[in-house]
Amino acid sequence: MKDIQPIVFEGVDSSQPLIIAGPCSAETEEQVLCTARELAANGIKIFRAGIWKPRTKPGGFEGVGAPGLEWLKKVKAETGMYTSTEVATRQHVEQALAAEVDMLWIGARTSANPFAMQEIADTLAEHHADVPVLVKNPVNPDLELWIGAMQRIYNAGIHRIGAIHRGFSAYGKHLYRNMPQWHIPIELRLRYPNLPIICDPSHIGGKRELIAPISQQAMDMGFNGLIIESHCSPDEAWSDASQQLTPEILNFVLNTLVVRDSRQSTENLALLRQQIDQIDNELLEVLSKRMRVSREIGQYKKEHRMPVVQAARYNDVIRTRLENGKEMGMGIDFLRTVLMAIHEESVRQQIEILNDRRP
């Protein structure tokens, strides 16, 4: 994907994050138009609505299908907003292109399926389609699968391509509906610096109150935009009711977002970065000193035929460090992870000494 092109729409300020908003699903013409009017009045330029809905369980609302495309046309004609919808099959792509939907996205269940992705890519290529396409991350945390899905679309001639980070499913109950696993989109950014990455806080959070903090985090991490579900009466939504915001609340959330300018690199920042480089070097020196001492302890244990791990000592080390670290204002979970990793490496090194037959 050497020639990724930016996704810009005429009349949409490309120096600002790309904001896409609209209901999870198109339900009725009235619901689509009333939501679209309110969003447009608040300055939203790109409208989303699911016409075909992939549902995990049968019996859920599976979308209104092709008739809903007529409502999207009305949204465009009446409000001037650009429109976008999810496609998962050849027929969806053909019908969405025929209805002149301005941008397509591919859902998380579809992007996990290379056969479906190839079918979509082939259809786009056959129709010489020239629409931007956003690809959601697959439900499972597999960066290669996500990249593969995008490559298929890119190879079909679609160079206005972007990624949507919508979180990854995990077993059991969690704060998030889908775990953000931020390191995955960050790695994607490092591998494809020109690829726009849009955050979907609605499907990550699954709850209204999480939309603002997740959106802010995405902005702080330099994401290029947000896709947020918004419905004129969210409690009555036919899908994803708990995560949709009214256009009014969405407007409030967007107005309170702090968008940082990632292009600015001030002198102060350069100085702070120098400091970080220095501190990291010191950290490495301290760590290697600790490992040296730990190896000496290993030698002692070997000579005195002592076991490598002594539970009481281990608990003591972790407890006292956690207490100290907490007083210094550090997060307990983070500290525990670091301390356990250091201890694990010490144990590994001591076992190496124990197994070394040399005197």
Residues 121 and 133: beta-carbon distance below 8 Å: no
Residue from 4, 24, 135, 253 touching Mn ion (CB under 5 A): that is: 24
Residue in 26, 101, 108, 131 binding ligand PEP, rule: CB under 6 A = 108
196 binding partner (options ligand PEP, Mn ion, none; Cβ < 5 to 8 Å by kind)? none
Query: CB neighbours (10 Å) of residue 76?
Result: 18
**Contact between 166 and ligand PEP (CB under 6 A)?**
yes
- Residue 107 binds which of Mn ion, ligand PEP, none (CB < 5-8 A, kind-dependent): ligand PEP
Options 45, 203, 208, 231; binder of ligand PEP; rule CB under 6 A: 203
Q: Does 161 bind Mn ion (CB under 5 A)?
A: no
Report if residue 107 touches ligand PEP, rule: CB under 6 A.
yes
Answer yes or no whether residue 99 interacts with ligand PEP by CB under 6 A. Answer: no
Q: Determine contact, residues 275/330, Cβ cutoff 8 Å.
A: no
- C-alpha 346, offset from chain centre: 35
Interaction between residue 93 and ligand PEP (CB under 6 A): no
Residue 152 touching ligand PEP (CB under 6 A): no
Applying CB under 6 A, does 177 fall inside the site for ligand PEP? Answer: no
Q: Figure out which of the listed residues 31, 35, 240, 254 binds Mn ion, where binding follows CB under 5 A.
A: 240
In the complex, least distance from residue 230 CB atom to Mn ion, rounded to whole angstroms: 11
Question: CA 41 to CA 320: how far, in whole Å?
Answer: 57
**Please, what's the b/e burial string for 318-348 (b: 16 or more CB within 10 A of its CB; e: otherwise)?**
eeebeeebeeeeeeeeebeeebeebbeebee
Say which entry of ligand PEP, Mn ion, none residue 136 contacts (CB below 5 to 8 A, set by partner kind): ligand PEP
**Would you count residue 298 as binding ligand PEP (CB under 6 A)?**
no
How far is CA 235 from each of CA 51, 169, 238, rounded to the nearest angstrom? 19, 24, 9
Alpha-carbon span 200 to 228, nearest angstrom: 6
What does the alpha-carbon distance between residue 75 and residue 98 come to, in Å, rounded to a whole number? 16
CA–CA gap between residue 271 and residue 255 (Å, rounded): 31
Q: Which residues bind ligand PEP (CB under 6 A)?
A: 24, 50, 54, 107-108, 136, 166, 203
Q: Which residues bind Mn ion (CB under 5 A)?
A: 24, 240
